[in-house]
């Protein structure tokens, strides 16, 4: 059997992730390899840590990428912070909050779920009740719930958590560099993300940061972290000045992340946040003009947009039409939202006027082909929204 040269299609990735990779990041990945203890690579590691601090808006010493996907970031955060018997409060209003619950259980911790309706934010008062009526001293929360498009307000939960002398662990996989996130100012103790979403880097790295309060907890554990590979006290030694060998770093991925972060910092975080909001607003204007609705009634995430599927419209056929006719990928719903929403990612370089207008025009074609009576032109409404803002 003969195999031809690899030739994947060049998709427009407007799903929940991964997103398209910046050309400069692709060029960086093709650079020559050096050893993972080479002096050049050591300098590059320092660059990555400093760029991550600027992106997380933190001064934490422990700030580096875990070698693994965003789920490795979730697992690393939880396995380092949770020991057998620990009571842990977890906000569970979507697919990834439920995964946090599962990992706490696998650490033999005792998750105290603060449930929320899929599509709505966690009520801070319920977090306070859970802290007041338990021995928990750790709160886990998803900032941007990828399964629903909800952006969780963090300030009040962080205030309540600190008032109870507990620690706050935040999932920022879909929000880092696309939504306002200030780790130190918000009082977040542990925060992790993924390389493949707003950072426009391939999947495979999970940026993570621990402040000193969190690291003190790690260093004073009763038992060793159950995962040797994800033990942050060991990984820290590789990323600190001594460079103690831990594992062979994914060198080309570190090149990629360094370039991706350089682009983020070069644009400026506040400008990126505004750009994502501007494009989200134009998308919503277009969706509503067409006679469709957005799924979350409030607290809508600018990087992951959930669109309610009209009654009688086949989810898979519309997504297939977009892929086959326009080369556009969007995501379907998860769990109880399967078949009820489309998930449209506008992340990093994918958050652009061009993509918003292209997607709205393509969706109108797909809906008409599915027999849905489109109310008005979504693309025209989005153009008007951009014109109004100048």
Q: What is the DSSP string of 72-89?
A: HHHHHHHHHH--TT-EEE
pLDDT of residue 3: 93
Strand 341-345 relative to strand 304-308, pairing: antiparallel
Question: H or E element: which one contains 246?
Answer: none
Query: Phi-psi bin for 144: left (phi > 0), alpha (psi -120 to 50), beta?
Result: beta
pLDDT, residue 297, reads: 81
- What is the predicted pLDDT for the residue at 330? 98
For residue 68, the model assigns a pLDDT of 97
CA angle 128, 130, 132 (to 5 degrees): 70
User: What pLDDT, on the 0 to 100 scale, is given for residue 2?
Assistant: 87
Which strand (E) or helix (H) includes residue 106? helix 95-106
Nearest to 305 by CA among 286, 324, 291, 290: 286
The residue behind tokens 């109870």 is: 164
Return the CATH fold of 269-389.
3.90.1150
Asked if residue 306 lies in contact with residue 343, where contact means CB atoms within 8 angstroms, the answer is: yes
The per-residue pLDDT for 376 is: 97
The CATH code of the domain at 23-267 is 3.40.640.10
What lies within 8 Å, CB to CB, of 3 at 6+ separation is none
Q: What is the pLDDT of residue 132?
A: 98
What is the pLDDT tens value at each position of the chain, 390 positions in all?
789 999 999 999 999 999 999 999 999 999 999 999 999 999 999 999 999 999 999 999 999 999 999 999 999 999 999 999 999 999 999 999 999 999 999 999 999 999 999 999 999 999 999 999 999 999 999 999 999 999 999 999 999 999 999 999 999 999 999 999 999 999 999 999 999 999 999 999 999 999 999 999 999 999 999 999 999 999 999 999 888 989 999 999 999 999 999 999 999 999 999 999 999 999 999 999 999 999 988 899 999 999 999 999 999 999 999 999 999 999 999 999 999 999 999 999 999 999 999 999 999 999 999 999 999 999 999 999 999 987
Q: Is the pTM of this model over 0.75?
A: yes
Instruction: Give the pLDDT score at 326.
Output: 98
Write out the two tokens for 170.
Answer: 């935040």
Instruction: Report the candidate in 230, 215, 229, 178 with the shortest Cα–Cα distance to residue 200.
Output: 178
With beta carbons less than 8 A apart as the criterion, state whether 246 and 95 touch.
no
Domain boundaries, the chain: 23-267, 269-389
pLDDT (0 to 100) of residue 305: 97
């Amino acid at each position: 059997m003969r195999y031809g040269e690899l030739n994947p299609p060049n998709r427009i990735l407007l799903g929940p992730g991964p997103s398209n990779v910046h050309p400069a990041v692709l060029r960086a990945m093709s650079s020559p390899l050096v050893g993972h203890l080479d002096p050049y690579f050591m300098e590059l590691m320092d660059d990555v840590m400093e760029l991550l601090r600027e992106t997380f808006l933190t001064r934490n010493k422990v700030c580096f990428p875990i070698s693994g996907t965003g789920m490795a970031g979730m697992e690393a955060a939880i396995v380092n912070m949770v020991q057998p018997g620990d009571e842990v409060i977890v906000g569970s209003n979507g697919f990834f909050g439920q995964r946090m619950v599962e990992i706490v259980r696998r650490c033999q911790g005792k998750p105290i779920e603060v449930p929320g309706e899929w599509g709505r934010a966690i009520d801070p008062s319920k977090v306070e009740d859970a802290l007041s009526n338990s021995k928990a001293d750790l709160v886990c929360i998803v900032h941007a719930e990828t399964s629903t498009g909800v952006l969780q307000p963090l300030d009040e939960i962080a205030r309540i958590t600190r008032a109870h002398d507990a620690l706050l662990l935040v999932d920022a996989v879909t929000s880092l560099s696309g939504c306002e996130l200030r780790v130190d100012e918000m009082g977040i103790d542990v925060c992790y993300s993924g390389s493949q979403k707003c950072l426009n880097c391939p999947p495979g790295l999970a940026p993570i940061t621990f402040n000193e309060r969190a690291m003190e907890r790690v260093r004073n554990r009763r038992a060793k972290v159950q995962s040797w590979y994800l033990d942050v006290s060991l990984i820290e030694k590789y990323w600190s000045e001594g460079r103690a060998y831990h594992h062979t770093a994914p060198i080309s991925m570190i090149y990629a992340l360094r370039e991706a972060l350089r682009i983020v910092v070069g644009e400026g975080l506040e400008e990126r946040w505004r750009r994502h909001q501007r494009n989200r607003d134009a998308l919503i204007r277009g969706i509503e003009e067409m006679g469709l609705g957005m799924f979350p009634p409030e607290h809508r995430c600018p990087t992951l947009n959930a669109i309610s599927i009209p009654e009688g419209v086949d989810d898979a056929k519309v997504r297939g039409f977009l892929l086959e006719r326009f080369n556009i990928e969007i995501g379907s719903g998860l769990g109880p939202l399967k078949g009820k929403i489309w998930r449209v990612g506008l992340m990093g370089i994918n958050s652009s006027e061009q993509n918003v207008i292209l997607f709205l025009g393509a969706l109108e074609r797909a809906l008409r082909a599915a027999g849905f009576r489109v109310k008005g032109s979504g693309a025209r409404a989005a153009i008007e929204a951009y014109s109004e803002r100048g």
